[in-house]
A and B are shown apart, each in its own frame.
Chain A
Amino acid sequence: QVQLVESGGGMVQPGGSLRLSCAASGFAFGSYAMHWVRQAPGKGLEWVAVISYDASDKKDADSVKGRFIISRDNSKNTLYLQMNSLRADDSALYYCARDLYIGVAAVDVFDHWGQGALVTVSS
């Protein structure tokens, strides 16, 4: 079955860096676009970034632009999020999610999610 397991979370000081990983299994990782979505404590979901199946295209939200970098290693079935210049408002549970796109059915959905990695930015 599809499994997504995030790691690399922790506590970091403002201005610091952290790299999250998302290990994928149970599906052809290299055939799917992947997303990062975050959720601050007690708040809603916020889309962070997406990377195409072959890493040729990447997009990110304005809130993280220029600070976060999404990448992937299809040989290792792993998605990454390099987070730099971290701020207190980046504190959140970070989820990786698989993108399922079926054009003829108008399906464009985050169909599988990991359990999340907690990032706390605090001095």
Chain B
Amino acid sequence: SSELTQDPAVSVALGQTVRITCQGDSLRNYYASWYQQKPGQAPVVVICGKNYRPSGIPDRFSGSSSGNTASLTITGAQAEDEADYYCNSRDSSGNLWVFGGGTKLTVL
């Protein structure tokens, strides 16, 4: 079982804002990274660290953290944002890594 918990599915209307959350004890000590995965493609990092967006990632993606919960927010969701989103961080020991179970985002 994963030490990071995500809602299996979330939906958002086109152009609206959606928040995808990730819960786990290790998030009290480590920031989550967020990955977007589209069908048949490798994951791509969209947010890491406190709230860092790699080059090429639209600024509608942002990250935040509070206590044991990390959040990925998409402000003004676009059709191309429909994908699976995974969080990951080190585990509670700090020695291993874990992924959340993933959230399937549907843009309506």
Contacts and interface: CB of A to CB of B under 8 A. Distances in A.
B49 interface: yes
Interface residues of B, number: 28
Contacts of A50: 96-97
B66 interface: no
Nearest to B43: A113
B36 to A, nearest CB: 11
8 contacts: A37-B99, A47-B96, A100-B48, A105-B50, A107-B48, A110-B88, A111-B48, A114-B42
A86 to B, nearest CB: 21
Contacts of B98: 47
Interface in A100-121: 100, 102, 105-111, 113-116
Interface in B35-76: 35, 37, 42-45, 48-50, 52, 54
Contacts of A111: 45, 48, 54
Contacts of A44: 2, 84, 86, 99-102
A116 B101 contact: no
A59 B30 contact: no
A100 B49 CA distance: 11
A54 interface: no
Contact of B42 (A46, A47, A115): A115
Contacts of A107: 31, 48-49, 52
Interface residues of A, number: 23
Contact of B45 (A35, A109, A114): A109
Nearest to B101: A44
A109 to B, nearest CB: 4
Given A46-B99, A47-B98, A59-B95, A105 B42 contact: no
Given A44-B102, A47-B98, A108-B30, 5 more contacts: A44-B86, A47-B88, A50-B96, A50-B97, A100-B48
B50 A106 contact: yes
A113 B31 CA distance: 20
A110 B42 CA distance: 12
| Most chain B beta-carbon neighbours within 10 Å: one of A46, A102, A109 | A109
A110 B52 contact: no
